[in-house]
Copies of this chain bind each other. A is one copy, B any other.
Amino acid sequence: MGRVGIRDVAKAAQVSVTTVSHALNDRRGSRISAATKEHVRAVAEDLGYAPNRLASGLRNNRSYLIGLVSDEIATTPFAGDMILGAQDAAYERGCLLMMLDAGGDGELEKRQVSTLLQHQVDGIVYARMYHQRIGLPVELAGVPTVLLDAVSADEKVSSVIPDEVEAARLAVRSLVAAGHRHIGFINNLDDIPATHGRLLGYQEALKESGIEFDPALVVAGVPETNGGRAAAMDVLSGPSRPTALFCFNDQMAMGAYQAAGSLGLEIPRDLSVIGIDNLELIAAALWPGLTTMALPHYDMGRWAVKQLLNEIEKPDDVEPVQMMFDCPLVQRGSVAPPLQI
On A, residues with C-beta under 8 Å from B are 1, 50-55, 57-58, 63-65, 74-77, 80-81, 83-84, 87, 91, 96-101, 103, 112, 114-120, 142, 224-225, 229, 251, 254-255, 258, 261, 279, 281-282, 284-287
Contacts and interface: CB of A to CB of B under 8 A. Distances in A.
Interface-central residue, A1, A83, A118, A281, by most chain B CB under 10 Å:
A281
Contacts of A52: 58, 118, 120
Contact of A80 (B51, B80, B119, B282): B80
A251 to B, nearest CB: 6
A281 B284 contact: no
Contact of A225 (B1, B58, B287): B287
Contacts of A282: 281-282, 285
A101 B87 contact: yes
Closest 10 CB pairs of A and B: A77-B77, A225-B285, A75-B80, A75-B84, A53-B119, A53-B118, A54-B58, A74-B83, A258-B287, A99-B99
A336 B327 CA distance: 43
B101 A84 contact: yes
Nearest to A284: B225
Contacts of A96: 98, 100, 115-116, 119
Contact of A285 (B51, B75, B97, B224): B224
A235 to B, nearest CB: 18
A258 to B, nearest CB: 5
Contact of A50 (B63, B118, B224, B261): B118
Interface-central residue, A50, A116, A255, A287, by most chain B CB under 10 Å:
A287
B97 A98 contact: yes
A285 B254 contact: yes
Given A65-B119, A80-B80, A281-B282, 7 more contacts: A1-B142, A50-B117, A54-B120, A64-B119, A75-B83, A76-B77, A225-B285
29 contacts: A1-B142, A50-B114, A51-B118, A52-B120, A54-B58, A54-B119, A58-B58, A64-B119, A65-B119, A74-B84, A74-B87, A75-B81, A76-B77, A77-B80, A77-B281, A84-B101, A84-B103, A91-B100, A91-B115, A96-B100, A96-B116, A97-B98, A97-B100, A98-B98, A98-B99, A99-B99, A251-B281, A254-B285, A255-B285
Contacts of A77: 76-77, 80, 281
A87 B100 CA distance: 7
A83 to B, nearest CB: 5
B54 A63 contact: yes
A102 to B, nearest CB: 10
A14 to B, nearest CB: 25
